[in-house]
Amino acid sequence: MTILVTGCAGFIGSNFVHTWLASSDETVINLDKLTYAGNLANLKSLQGDARHVFVHGDIGDRALVDQLLREHQPRAVLNFAAESHVDRSIHGPGEFIQTNVMGTFHLLESVRAYWQVLPETQRQSFRFLHVSTDEVYGTLSPTDPPFAETKNYEPNSPYSASKAASDHLVRAWHHTYGLPVLTTNCSNNYGPFHFPEKLIPLVLLNALAGKALPIYGDGQQVRDWLYVQDHCRAITRVLDAGKVGETYNIGGWNEKPNLEVVNTLCAVLDELKPRADGKNYAEQITYVKDRPGHDRRYAIDARKVERELGWRPEETFETGIRKTVAWYLINQAWVEDVTSGAYRQWVGQQYGA
Ligand code: NAD
Ligand code: DAU
């Protein structure tokens, strides 16, 4: 048996492939465009492993996706591929519409054509799983209840609007054409292979390089953090047992203001890799201009996936963040690889000199 998974050279996708192949011999066909966020070094340990087949290409390339589906006859397609960084979507929303909206549309059309002519038993068991985000729900006040699956969509950034559009397409392809879809909406992930444009790896690497740790606005925006491998296990669980047409919110009950996250990171670094001058990394914290339209608070009500599918996160924030810091300290070659080239241009554009 085979699954086709898109975007697996990125952060969550590559963690998914590692988690999947650690407990299954089912082949993964990995379709990835290798944008700035795609990195085959994330999959280096799988070199020579016949269970992982990498295909360089775009989810919006109908001819390529049609051919992959014909050739590999997957029992499921999982869509991780996306433009994923909110700040980049503010600077240039076009790519987000192209991949997240148009790309998902073309992928759905290819999958629909493939699924429609499958023999009946395979048609019944086939699944299209769409990986989405809690950002589609908009922002919460401090006293609002966390996002349940019934919460209306109120996306506020070009990124979240493009993801919301893709979720709506997936929903419509189920209701209109009967495509057996599942959608997951997850909160902020962190862990190995996280590209250092995002808060946690950015702060970690800046701290070690003696640079400023940029906090947008007052640093009191709240995110709900989940260790990436817990997210990957939840996706597998939804694929195995999720009810067709349903959405599942995934989160770790770990709401934290950004400033607290950064202070925790600094404290773990103080312990594992103390500064040469004996000072604390927290001294590098710098307040910078806020993100336009910055959502104040995200929080996930994960009771549905816990109750119906028996999923629970294995890591707390405290255990997950230690594992993450340790991973970045050990994997210096990976860090040097991703922080060269195009990444430097981004840092210059976003944070100035
Ligand atoms: P990422 O940016 O690290 O990786 C995205 C991957 O998709 C890259 O490998 C990139 O090359 C690939 N890609 C981009 N456009 C493509 C295209 N047109 N065709 C094929 N491949 C393409 O993103 P991530 O953080 O790993 O997120 C993966 C998915 O999970 C996204 O859909 C994102 O919206 C969702 N998500 C992310 C988080 C998070 O905290 N990072 C949380 C919830 C949901
Ligand atoms: O909630 C899920 C989403 O989490 C995913 O859908 C997105 O793909 C993923 O990028 C992430 O979005 P955020 O915008 O929450 O993540 P980011 O790491 O960019 O920022 C986390 C918080 O930290 C946010 O409130 C902005 C703030 N921040 C970020 C950066 C990069 C800073 O204060 N300083 C920074 O330099």
How many separate domains does the chain show?
Answer: 1
Using the mean position of ligand 1's atoms as its centre, give its distance from the Cα of residue 79 in Å: 9
Residue 353's pLDDT band (cuts 50, 70, 90): low
Asked if residue 99 belongs to a domain, the reply is: yes
Q: Is residue 173 part of a domain?
A: yes
Q: Which residue has the tokens 């991780």?
A: 80
Q: What separation in angstroms does the CA of 139 have from each of 146, 151, 161, 317?
A: 10, 11, 13, 22
pLDDT of residue 295: 98
Q: Residues enclosing ligand 1, CB less than 6 A?
A: 6-7, 9-13, 31-35, 37-38, 58-60, 80-84, 99, 103, 131, 133, 163, 186, 188-189, 195
Question: 329 with 273: CB under 8 angstroms?
Answer: yes
Q: Residue 201: what pLDDT?
A: 98
- Write the CA distances from 291 to 86, 90, 163, 262, 351, integer angstroms: 9, 9, 19, 17, 11
**Residue 342: its pLDDT value, please?**
75
Positive or negative torsion for Cα 245, 114, 38, 19: positive
- Tokens for 284, please give them: 């590098």
Residue 346 is predicted with a pLDDT of 80
The per-residue pLDDT for 352 is 81
Reported as a single tens digit per residue, the pLDDT across 203-245 is 999 999 999 999 999 999 999 999 999 999 999 999 999 999 9
Give the pLDDT mean for 7-35: 97
**pLDDT higher than 70, residue 93:** yes
Could you tell me how far CA 307 lies from the centroid of its own chain?
A: 23
Residues framing ligand 2 (Cβ under 6 A): 84-86, 133-135, 187-188, 198-199, 202, 214-216, 221, 223, 258, 291, 298
Identify the helix (H) or strand (E) that includes residue 257. Answer: strand 255-257
**What values do phi and psi take at 131, rounded to 5?**
-90, 115
C-alpha to C-alpha distance for 200 and 336, rounded to whole angstroms: 17
Q: Which residue range is the domain that position 83 belongs to?
A: 2-190+226-253+294-313
The predicted structure's pLDDT at residue 88: 97
pLDDT value of residue 350: 87
Does residue 66 fall inside a structural domain?
A: yes
Cα(253) to centroid(ligand 1), Å? 23
Residue 84 within a domain: yes
Q: Which amino acid is at 90?
A: I
Q: Which ligand is nearest to the CA of 298?
A: 2
Please, how many CA atoms are within 13 Å of residue 270, restricted to the half-sphere of its CB? 13
Rounded to an integer, what distance in angstroms lies between the CA atom of residue 9 and that of residue 259? 30
Query: Between 168 and 350, whose confidence is greater?
Result: 168
Residue 78: give its domain's CATH number. Answer: 3.40.50.720
Mean pLDDT, residues 308-318 taken together: 97
In this predicted structure, the answer to whether residue 61 has a pLDDT above a threshold of 90 is yes
The answer to whether residue 200 sits within a structural domain is no
Mean pLDDT of 258-262: 98
In a domain, 270, yes or no: no
pLDDT band (50, 70, 90) for residue 274: very high
C-alpha to C-alpha distance for 9 and 11, rounded to whole angstroms: 7
d(CA 12, CA 194): 8
| pLDDT at residue 169 in the model | 99
> Can you tell me the mean pLDDT for 107-129?
98
- 84 Cα–ligand 2 center, Å: 10
How many angstroms is it from 82 CA to the middle of ligand 1?
A: 4
The half-sphere exposure of 57 on its side-chain side, counting CA atoms within 13 A, is: 19
| DSSP conformation letters of 19-86 | HHHHH---EEEEEE---TT--GGGGGGGTT-TTEEEEE--TT-HHHHHHHHHHH--SEEEE--S---H
Locus of tokens 């773990």: 268
pLDDT by residue (tens digit) across 122-145? 999 999 999 999 999 999 999 999
What is the rounded CA–CA span in Å between residue 187 and residue 134? 5
**Position 305 in a domain:** yes
Is 222:256 a contact under the CB 8 Å cutoff? Answer: yes
pLDDT tens-digit readout, 146-155: 999 999 999 9
State both tokens at 36: 């700035």
- The pTM assigned to this predicted structure is 0.98
Residue 38 lies in a domain: yes
- pLDDT above 70 covers a percentage of the chain that reads 100
Distance of CA 288 to the CA centre of its chain: 25
Mean pLDDT value across the chain: 97
Per-residue pLDDT at 341 exceeds 90: no
pLDDT at 157 over 60: yes
Top mutation candidate among 35, 54, 132 for ligand 1, by most atoms within 8 Å of CB: 35
